[in-house]
Structure 1
């Protein structure tokens, strides 16, 4: 993970260096600020659409898995927009645009399905026969030992 982070930082610095050498420092700074402003506007717009889609799907009684996943990807895209650098801006914009977000959602859900089976209530564990394992339990008071006499109830005296 540290190697991936290091490669990402190197890619960001190289991209900023390349753009700054082509158009100058102030223009590069202006481009980074403009990207953050446009990205934040787009994240707010797409986030509102995703929230309405989640609510509409929930009201219809269907599973809002796709809509919630879209909302999470929009949040990640918005976060990437605010990280300074061109590589993160491009990745964030790709997550904010609906066509590329749909591809990312399919890849993400496919990866989650490989990690664990999906149950109607989310991810869970299945037995070898394919049935859901349910453990029923009961809380037992073990504060007193059965070999001794049972605990005495307090006596309330009245006049």
Structure 2
């Protein structure tokens, strides 16, 4: 009988998320479908028509991305000017919302293929932008509530709750948990 060292037991692997499971085959299926639809369009008309569709989608997408980028930069500049002049920020303007979704729509238009073009065109419609924005916000807030302590969601929650003025105060954190008291020392910041 040998009395060697026992092999270490590793904890069970965490379950793979649905996104990591279904994203690669979904992307592969999407690419195959895009290529197949382009060949169907080329067979129904001609290769020149497909080339014109691809170029038109790229040009339209680049115009949309450029316009959304300019609008976002203009809104950023106005916000910075208001903060410097200490003016009261007005209510959110309708043209300041949806820049991200408009850029995403433009990028989808730039990707060659009829399915991505249709999705990009849909994202340019204001009712669709509002619906997608509401759904994304609800999903983000639900995931944030479900986040465990010590995760990225917990960091977002803490950043939102503490120090809205952005000031950092060097100091010491004392956590009083039942039965234990731990101290974590943070060095002062160099200024």
**TM-score for both structures, normalised by structure 2:** 0.54
Structure 1 residues 96 and 55: CA distance shift in structure 2, 3 A? farther
Does residue 139 of structure 1 match 2:186?
yes
For these two proteins, the number of residue pairs brought into alignment is: 131
1:84: which partner in 2?
A: 112
CA positional deviation for 1:63: 8.6
State the structure with more CA Rg: 1
5+ long unaligned stretches in structure 2? 1-22, 83-87, 146-154, 164-171, 174-183
Structure 1 residues 68 and 10: CA distance shift in structure 2, 3 A? farther
User: Aligned-pair RMSD on alpha carbons?
Assistant: 3.4
Q: Is the 8 A contact 1:54 1:67 kept in 2?
A: no
Find the partner of 2:139 among 83, 99, 111: 111
**TM-score for both structures, normalised by structure 1:** 0.63
Mapping for residues 1-159 of structure 1, pairs under 5 Å: 1-53=23-75, 59=82, 60-61=88-89, 70-117=98-145, 123-124=156-157, 136=173, 137-139=184-186
CA positional deviation for 1:90: 1.6
5+ long unaligned stretches in structure 1? 126-131, 141-159
Q: Map Cα deviations across residues 78-133 of structure 1 (whole Å, 9 max, x no partner).
A: 2222221111122122223323222211111111111114xxxx9316xxxxxx68
Q: Map Cα deviations across residues 1-23 of structure 1 (whole Å, 9 max, x no partner).
A: 11111111122112212211221
Structure 1 residues 67 and 113: CA distance shift in structure 2, 3 A? farther
